[in-house]
């Protein structure tokens, strides 16, 4: 997607630390959307105070925002309001969730996962990011 090495470094750490804000949300409230939906802003603020990770901060801030502006915590989404790293992280997070077995469900086939991403382009996911991930998956890179 044309990121420079430094931007990839920031995206890498943002991906690893995307949900760090959950550490500041009391366990008893973590299932409540009123509290849960604050974790990107809380995590972003935490990272912004650490020089090594401050550039990961806007990526963490935007990782649950959506192009249709119905995401959280801010409900932004039009134009470039969501940084590219956050748009990439949102798609990759969904991809990873669909490709991984967990306690609740099994991983789904690659074709189904790609269809799911395509079905939500423009609403939940960025079109260019989904297009790039789809090409990589079809090449067998993922």
Residues of this chain that bind Fe ion (CB under 5 A): 19
Distance of closest approach, residue 68 Cβ to Fe ion, in angstroms: 18
Distance of closest approach, residue 65 Cβ to Fe ion, in angstroms: 11
Taking CA atoms, 84 is separated from 4, 16, 22, 59, in Å, by 12, 17, 23, 8
The residue number whose beta carbon is nearest to Fe ion equals 19
| Structural tokens at position 28 | 């008893």
Nearer to Fe ion, 72 or 128 (CB): 72
Nearer to Fe ion, 19 or 68 (CB): 19
CA 90, 92, 95, 100 torsion-angle sign: negative
Query: 121 phi and psi, to 5 degrees?
Result: -65, 135
Distance of closest approach, residue 4 Cβ to Fe ion, in angstroms: 25
């Amino acid at each position: 997607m044309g990121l420079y090495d430094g931007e990839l470094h920031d995206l890498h750490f943002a991906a690893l630390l995307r949900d760090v804000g959950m550490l500041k949300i009391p366990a008893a409230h973590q299932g409540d959307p009123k509290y849960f939906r604050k974790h990107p802003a809380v995590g972003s603020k935490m990272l912004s105070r650490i020089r090594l990770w401050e550039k990961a901060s806007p990526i963490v801030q935007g990782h649950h925002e959506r192009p249709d502006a119905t995401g959280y915590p801010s409900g932004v989404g039009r134009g470039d309001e969501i940084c590219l790293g956050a748009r990439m992280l949102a798609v990759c997070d969904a991809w990873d969730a669909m490709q991984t077995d967990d306690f609740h469900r099994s991983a789904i086939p690659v074709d189904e996962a790609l269809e799911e991403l395509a079905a939500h382009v423009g609403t939940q996911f960025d079109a260019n990011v989904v297009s790039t991930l789809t090409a990589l998956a079809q090449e067998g890179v993922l």
